[in-house]
Amino acid sequence: MTTRWGSDVMVDAIKACGFPYVSLNPGSSYRGLHDSLVNHGGNDPEIITCNHEKLAVGVAHGYAKATGQPMACILHDIVGLLQGTMGIYYAYIDRAPVVVLGGAGPMAYDRRRPNIDWIHTANVQGNVVRDYTKWDDQPASVGSVAESIARGYRVATAQPQGPVYIALDAGLQEDEAGDVELPNFDRLRTPSPVGPDPGALRRLAERLCSSARPLLVAGYAGRDAHAFGQLVELSELLGAGVVDTGWRLNFPNRHPHNVTGSEAVAEADCVLFVDVKDMGKWTQRLDRTTRRIESLIRPGAQVLDLGFNELGISAWSHDFAQLHETDVQVTADTAVALPLLLELCHELNADAREGWRRRLADLHETTRSGWAEEAAGERSLSPVATSRLADEVWAVVKDFDWVLTAGTASDKVQRSWDFDRPYRHPGRSLGTATQIGISLGIGLAYKGTDKLVVDLQPDGDLMFDLGALWIAAYHQIPMLAVMFNNRAYYNDWAHQERIARHRGTDLARAYIGMEIAKPAPDFAGVARALGWHGEGPIEDPEHVQAAVRRAAEIVMRERRPALVDVVCQPD
């Protein structure tokens, strides 16, 4: 008879969850699990080999953003978990359902190898990430494993979504399991989403429909693909303006009611936040030098809110942001509440608001005309202006069915690209050292489809994880990376310039500790060395489009990754 191992039971539970992939960086604390994935499981889910644990989490994060479905990753005991912590934290604040599994122990002293198993073992391994996961567990028997993994899946995928961590004892992995029966996973699926209180939602709808100049601020609603069309319908029904925060793609950027980047907030008499965690960023003016803020919402304007509010709020991270006064606040999953709100507004709305509709269209056109004028003035700059980079890449990708990964080239793409479908952009990046991993996950999600996956890749971000390019080559993830390369950690450089001006110190010294030059990295050369097609560096804006088109055609024809390094102006 074939021996059944504890890790076989673990793989059976993993397979029962339906994960398509599991990303990992190899580690001996889960050697039993690894063997079972490859042999007992037949490499299903498929292993995605990563050269850093943070990247393993990032790939799972990006896949979850693109599909709305969870992906699993495995981290090697304490040290691998510590390496992966930043990826887990960003998955947490970005509401990405990642199921993180980790080798642990063995917890039994007599099963440990000298030194290495001791220094890599903790009393409760989940303590490392407990402050920024939704749940963690460390099952103490093989019989407990299936329930733990099933619960982890449920917790990760229940809205608001987020990462969970489950430590799997190395001794349990390597024990003979005997006859361990799995529960019926079909009866352990994620519970239904949270609906709104009917009376509270009606009060919100009444105030919204009685306003003369309504404005919607949309945050994470776009995680549900239906929200894209629902928000268009609500906006057109009410004549409401829309500010899209970009945390998910919520609203078509070329719609005349899209007033992102304008001063519409200051004119609105009613502001409805739709699944927004940080109400301040999009409705306040910030003095970047003194850190002083002022609200743009006019006195007397009604403030309404529809979202998760205190559900899942962190006791540790302050990602919940500043608390804002509201007139009506409804706690619900917008995937449930938006269709109900639409029904109520169809019933209650009686005002065509023609004047406000015209004003919104004027704000939309004026804002976009200003952007176009600014871009025209920068068009001939060399190195390449960020606006020109966005325009030249758009001239190519518009001919394909495209998906933009995480970065938006300092939000310049929203000014010229046409975000006309909900899948065009899973949401903005979350900071340096996050984009390439998330982008690989998005590329993985669309592998085998006809989508052209485009990563506008900052140089500072890629310098953290240059080896990540190998992942795409090895796993044949077809994606186009166009470097947004200003040869600097420019966001921080700009901060140093502000401080120098404020204090009267030497502005010319702000570059120290900020430039990525002398030598400037050869990103195209690195890409070629790691199995990509690579071109560049390109400083002449006239050469960008042809290089991007050649690279895009290689991606689509040969189904392999390609990189074009474009040297850009500071932005």
Give the DSSP per-residue string, 145-172: HHHHHHHHHHHHHSSSP--EEEEEEHHH
Residue indicated by tokens 């609500």: 234
Q: pLDDT value at position 459?
A: 93
Domains 6-187 and 379-567 share a fold: yes
**Contact present, 152 and 99 (Cβ < 8 Å):** yes
For helices 386-397 and 544-558, the axis angle rounded to 10 degrees is: 40
Asked if pLDDT for residue 290 goes beyond 90, the answer is no
Mean pLDDT of 201-210: 97
Q: What angle do CA 53, 55, 56 make, to 5 degrees?
A: 65
What confidence tens digit (pLDDT) does each residue in 224-277 have? 999 999 999 999 999 999 999 999 999 999 999 999 999 999 999 999 999 999
* Residue 567, burial from CB neighbour count under 10 angstroms (0-12, 13-18, 19+): buried
> In this structure, are strands 284-286 and 293-295 parallel, antiparallel, or unpaired?
antiparallel
Both tokens of 247, joined, read: 């945390």
Asked if pLDDT for residue 318 goes beyond 70, the answer is yes
- Report the topology of domain 379-567: Rossmann fold (3.40.50)
What confidence tens digit (pLDDT) does each residue in 472-513 have? 999 999 999 999 998 888 788 888 888 988 899 998 898 888
Q: pLDDT value at position 207?
A: 97
pLDDT bin (cut points 50, 70, 90) of residue 11 is: very high
The secondary element (H helix, E strand) that includes residue 184 is: none
Q: Where are the alpha helices (DSSP H) in 224-287?
A: 226-238, 264-267
Both tokens of 561, joined, read: 């990754």
- Of 486, 473, 488, the closest CA to residue 443 belongs to 473
Q: What angle do CA 227, 363, 267 make, to 5 degrees?
A: 85
Phi, psi of 329 (to 5 degrees): -130, 120
- Of 507, 406, 383, 412, the closest CA to residue 457 belongs to 406
The string of DSSP codes covering 431-471 is: STTSHHHHHHHHHHHTTTSS-EEEEEEEHHHHHH-TTHHHH
Percentages helix, strand, coil for the chain (3-state, rounded to 5) are 45, 15, 40
5 bridge partner residues = 176
| Residue 187 DSSP symbol | G
Greater model confidence, 350 or 159: 159
Q: pLDDT value at position 286?
A: 83
Both tokens of 320, joined, read: 């919940």
Please tell me the distance from the alpha carbon of residue 163 to that of residue 6, in angstroms, as a whole number. 24
Asked if pLDDT for residue 411 goes beyond 70, the answer is yes
Mean pLDDT of the chain: 95
Q: pLDDT value at position 347?
A: 95
Q: pLDDT value at position 507?
A: 87
What confidence tens digit (pLDDT) does each residue in 358-377 have? 999 999 999 999 999 999 99
- Of 212, 297, 262, the closest CA to residue 371 belongs to 262
Please tell me the distance from the alpha carbon of residue 107 to that of residue 122, in angstroms, as a whole number. 9
46 bridge partner residues = 21
Q: What angle do CA 311, 430, 128 make, to 5 degrees?
A: 65
The secondary element (H helix, E strand) that includes residue 36 is: none
Both tokens of 233, joined, read: 């319908």
Half-sphere exposure of 101 (CA within 13 A, CB side): 36
- Report the topology of domain 6-187: Rossmann fold (3.40.50)
Which pairs from 175-180 meet CB under 8 Å and 24+ separation?
A: 175/5, 175/6, 175/142, 176/3, 176/4, 176/5, 176/6, 177/4, 177/5, 177/6, 177/8, 177/9, 177/142, 178/4, 179/4, 180/4, 180/9, 180/142, 180/143, 180/146
**Contact present, 359 and 212 (Cβ < 8 Å):** no
Half-sphere exposure of 369 (CA within 13 A, CB side): 7
Strand runs labelled E in 57-108: 71-75, 98-104
Q: pLDDT value at position 1?
A: 55
pLDDT bin (cut points 50, 70, 90) of residue 203 is: very high
Q: Per mean pLDDT, which range of 281-285, 329-333, 364-368, 429-433 is the poorest?
A: 429-433
Half-sphere exposure of 333 (CA within 13 A, CB side): 17
Q: pLDDT value at position 141?
A: 94
Phi, psi of 49 (to 5 degrees): -80, 125
Q: What angle do CA 191, 57, 60 make, to 5 degrees?
A: 55
Greater model confidence, 494 or 467: 467
Q: pLDDT value at position 552?
A: 98
Mean pLDDT of 294-319: 92
- Of 513, 526, 546, the closest CA to residue 436 belongs to 526
Q: pLDDT value at position 221?
A: 98
Q: pLDDT value at position 105?
A: 87
Handedness of CA 29, 35, 41, 44 (dihedral sign): positive
Asked if pLDDT for residue 161 goes beyond 70, the answer is yes
pLDDT-above-70 percentage for the chain? 100
CATH number given to 198-363: 3.40.50.1220
Q: Per mean pLDDT, which range of 434-438, 450-454, 483-487 is the poorest?
A: 483-487
Handedness of CA 391, 395, 397, 400 (dihedral sign): positive
pLDDT bin (cut points 50, 70, 90) of residue 514 is: confident
Gyration radius of the chain's alpha carbons: 25
Asked if pLDDT for residue 330 goes beyond 80, the answer is yes
241 bridge partner residues = 215
The residue ranges of every structural domain in the chain are 6-187, 198-363, 379-567
Phi, psi of 100 (to 5 degrees): -95, 120
Please tell me the distance from the alpha carbon of residue 95 to that of residue 402, in angstroms, as a whole number. 24
- Of 95, 96, 94, 116, the closest CA to residue 105 belongs to 116
What confidence tens digit (pLDDT) does each residue in 40-56 have? 999 999 999 999 999 99
Mean pLDDT of 103-119: 90
Mean pLDDT of 410-438: 94
